[in-house]
Amino acid sequence: MALLAASSGDLALAEDALAAAFERALVTWSADGVPANPEGWLLTVARNEQRDVWKSAAHRTSTVLDDTLSPGATAVTPFDDVDPDAIPDRRLELLFTCAHPAIDAAARTPLMMQSVLGFEATDIAGAFAVAPSAMSQRLVRAKRRIRDARIPFVVPDRASMPGRLPAVLEAVYGCFAITWNDADGADPDTVESMAGESLYLAVTLASLLDDPEAWGLAALIALSLSRAPARIGPFVPLDEQDPSTWDEELIRDGEVMLRHASSFGRPHGRFQLEAAMQSVHADRARTGVVDWAALRSLSSALVSVSPTLGARVAHAGIVGRANSALDGLSLLDELSGDAADFGPFHAARADLLVRAGHCDAAREHFERAAALTGDERAQDYLRRRAGEVSQDRRE
């Protein structure tokens, strides 16, 4: 997509041309076999499609795709000069193009998630809690803006980087978060194939820019992915998982990247703090215990840097473990007005209520949390906890 759109800045045309190339591949490859350079083959056919559009404005809507070359197109031969290993840098150019200040801020991250990371508009709309039709319109307008304003496809210089980098990091993180959440209960190889792309892009981004928050994001994804094997079977809370099932190599990689992020000596950003919290959990493989005091300090810092509802709920749950259940419940009380439909709020409240000995109230919140999550494994766990609380009370 990045290679196709770079010359014209027309993302919509690049999408149409690439879709046509994939459709033709389904017909041609099944008959003739997969070519030696499939990426080059697809790019050649897609570029032929683009040329046809440039020759005839009516081509895209009037021509029926078949298994023959379009009139006037060049022969379909592999693009031997295309190096697939160079494509990641071109994808980064497309990421930063989508983050250009001329693009509506509300469209930047969704546009990156669709154009570079491959998500459908419906999935993106769900992640941003907007109607699919509204998200589709937002994406169409953003693509037109790139084309009409002739925004260049380049990685910006250092002076322009601060204004664009946060949206790029959010898009890569969004890629990971959606695939990670959707992969609950899946085979670890499937999780790796889906979320591994986000790790690859994060590491490529960090290596290119050598930015502490980019390294923090890469560390966060690596440390989170290290627990993919533990996601097979029934849901198990992080602090109860068997560390022997975690991926030691990914943990080591994540720790190295996190230390490098910290070496810059700058104030820690959101991704570094979240990665540090994952590092504390990973350290249980060495110590056998969770350092709740360290998590309390890190989550407090995270709330001060990024006071999202999720961060504040997580901080309250951690305080409930590091200090007392009542201290955590007190913090959750401050959020009750904003979190009525937030599943993690009810799950955290239920857990702390059990620890405080309030079983009836805990059962209600476990059931509410189960009703608010779409993850079947988590639903089963929460309903089982509700049943266990009821049984304990009767006994």
Contact 202, 254 (CB under 8 A): no
Answer left, alpha or beta for residue 357, where phi above 0 means left and psi between -120 and 50 means alpha: left
Per-residue pLDDT at 63: 43
Q: Which two tokens stand for residue 306?
A: 């990024």
Per-residue pLDDT at 393: 60
Cβ neighbours of residue 236 closer than 8 Å, sequence gap 6 or more: 230, 381
| Tens-digit pLDDT profile for residues 231-254 | 777 889 999 999 999 999 999 999
pTM (2 d.p.) = 0.78
CA dist list (Å): 11 to 14, 16, 46, 343: 5, 9, 13, 37
Residue by residue, pLDDT tens for the chain (395 residues) are 888 887 778 888 989 999 999 999 999 999 999 998 888 899 889 988 888 887 765 544 544 443 433 333 344 444 455 555 555 667 778 888 888 888 888 888 888 888 877 788 887 887 777 889 999 999 999 999 988 888 888 777 777 777 788 888 988 888 788 777 655 544 556 556 667 778 888 998 898 888 999 999 999 999 999 987 777 778 899 999 999 999 999 999 999 999 999 999 889 999 999 999 999 999 999 999 999 999 999 999 999 999 999 999 999 999 999 999 999 999 999 998 889 889 999 999 999 999 999 988 999 999 999 999 878 889 999 999 999 887 666 55
Per-residue pLDDT at 78: 44
In one-letter notation, the amino acid at residue 326 is L
Cβ neighbours of residue 43 closer than 8 Å, sequence gap 6 or more: 3, 4, 21, 79, 82
Residue with tokens 């995270």: 302
Listed residue (102, 1, 7) closest to 51, CA to CA: 7
Task: Compute CA 366 distance to the chain's CA centroid, rounded to the nearest angstrom.
Answer: 27
Residue with tokens 């008959």: 31
